């Protein structure tokens, strides 16, 4: 290896390390700010004291009220962490879907996966009941997301929609059909519960609890690591199915595996946050502008950027109409819609 290559490799690693360190620092600061702001502002010293006292009981003498401790520990910390987990999951799924479909406009929302997850979650909330306890909603949400993903693949196959653009059109069509079914479930459900479900469909993290976080973590960590491990295969898929096949990858089977992994992550995230669109669309594009197109970098940084973005979107949702919470899906929809139009205009140039 030449000195120039060694120097370039070392510089690339330093750049990667600096970006990761900066991103993690911004993430921690974002979580701290998300806990601090709200109808009742909390000083950072109080937040640090509560956190230290919870992690190491007795290390700090409490100088705050029990009410403030409950707001910080029981309400705001779980909400901020759930926002980070959902944003990370949606960002990573968007990056993976854009690679296997070779379409920069692909994301769980546009491909109908989020709609399928919503269908399953609404079925659990309004009709079947929590027959498996807290696991019921994420499990049925995953089933709905997987159903929608398989429908997209089936429609694309039947219609001969082999191109990336036609696959997105198949996803949009399936999304409309599945959401129509979800609306029927709402119409047939208990009128007293439909208001809560409709608000949940707009996206919201206000019901976050510590007990809820275990399921997104259990799904995101192993599935995300699997996607990251398959980053070289995703890189091959971005070039084309023929190239991927010459490298020993079965394109159709691998694409289906990624769709199932994406459905699993999206289903669980939607179960606890409602439908939040455009995170999976925006984050991979922003990451590629900063880190390049290698999916070994795009996937983890899409997760990191997605976590930071959704935490800030949740802060905005809580602050704009304080003391009322604006649905977070409204915030991401406004930002994502503008980003989507800008992306279309950029692709046309």
The predicted pLDDT at position 135 comes to 78
Reduce the DSSP state of residue 103 to 3 states and report it. coil
Helix axes 295-319, 77-101, angle to 10 degrees: 140
Alpha helices in 102-189 (DSSP H): 113-123, 136-158, 164-188
Fold of domain 80-348: ABC transporter involved in vitamin B12 uptake, BtuC (1.10.3470)
Candidates 207, 200, 201, 202; CA nearest to 79 is 207
pLDDT digits (tens, 9 = 90+) for 238-267: 888 888 889 888 888 898 889 889 888 988
pLDDT digits (tens, 9 = 90+) for 301-325: 999 999 999 999 999 998 887 777 8
Angle at CA of residue 87, ends 49 and 233, nearest 5°: 130
The C-alpha atoms of residue 343 and residue 347 are separated, in whole angstroms, by 6
Give the pair of three-digit tokens for residue 156.
Answer: 């694309």
pLDDT digits (tens, 9 = 90+) for 35-88: 999 888 899 889 999 998 888 887 888 888 888 999 999 999 999 999 999 999
**For residue 4, is pLDDT > 60?**
no
Peptide bond into 319 cis (omega under 30): no
- Residue whose entry in the numeric block shows the structure tokens 């669309």: 281
- Read off the pTM: 0.89
The C-alpha atoms of residue 235 and residue 284 are separated, in whole angstroms, by 14
Average pLDDT, integer, range 30-39: 92
Q: Are 118 and 269 in contact (CB under 8 A)?
A: no
Candidates 142, 153, 139; CA nearest to 111 is 153
Give the up-direction half-sphere exposure of residue 344: CA atoms within 13 A in the CB hemisphere. 6
- What are the structural domain ranges in the chain? 80-348
Question: Mean pLDDT over all residues of the chain?
Answer: 86
- Residue whose entry in the numeric block shows the structure tokens 């546009």: 110
Q: What percent of the chain has pLDDT over 70?
A: 93
């Amino acid at each position: 290896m030449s000195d120039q290559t060694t120097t370039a490799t070392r510089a690339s690693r330093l750049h990667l390390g600096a970006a990761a360190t900066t991103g993690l620092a911004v993430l921690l600061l974002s979580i701290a700010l998300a806990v601090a702001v709200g109808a009742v502002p909390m000083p950072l010293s109080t937040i640090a004291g509560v956190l230290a006292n919870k992690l190491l009981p007795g290390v700090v003498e409490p100088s705050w009220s029990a009410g403030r401790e409950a707001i910080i520990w029981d309400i705001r910390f779980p909400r901020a962490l759930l926002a980070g987990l959902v944003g990370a999951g949606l960002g990573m799924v968007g990056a993976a879907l854009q690679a296997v479909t070779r379409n920069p406009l692909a994301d769980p929302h546009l491909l109908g996966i989020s709609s399928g997850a919503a269908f399953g979650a609404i079925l659990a909330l309004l009709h079947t009941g929590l027959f498996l306890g807290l696991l019921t909603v994420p499990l049925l949400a995953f089933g709905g997301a997987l159903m929608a993903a398989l429908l997209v693949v089936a429609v694309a196959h039947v219609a001969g929609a082999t191109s990336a653009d036609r696959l997105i059109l198949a996803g949009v069509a399936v999304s409309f059909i599945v959401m129509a079914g979800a609306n029927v479930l709402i119409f047939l459900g208990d009128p007293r519960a439909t208001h809560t479900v409709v608000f949940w469909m707009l996206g919201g993290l206000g019901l976050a609890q510590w007990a809820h976080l275990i399921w997104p973590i259990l799904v995101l960590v192993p599935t995300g690591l699997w996607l990251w491990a398959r980053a070289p295969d995703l890189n091959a898929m971005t070039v084309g199915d023929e190239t991927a096949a010459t490298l020993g990858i079965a394109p159709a089977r691998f694409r289906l595996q990624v769709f199932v992994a994406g459905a699993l992550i999206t289903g669980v995230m939607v179960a606890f946050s409602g439908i939040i669109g455009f995170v999976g669309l925006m984050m991979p594009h922003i990451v590629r502008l900063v880190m390049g197109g290698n999916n070994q970098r795009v996937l983890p940084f899409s997760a990191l950027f997605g976590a930071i973005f959704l935490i800030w979107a949740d802060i905005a949702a809580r602050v704009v109409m304080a003391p009322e919470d604006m649905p977070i899906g409204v915030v991401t929809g406004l930002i994502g819609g503008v980003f989507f139009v800008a992306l279309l205009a950029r692709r046309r140039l």
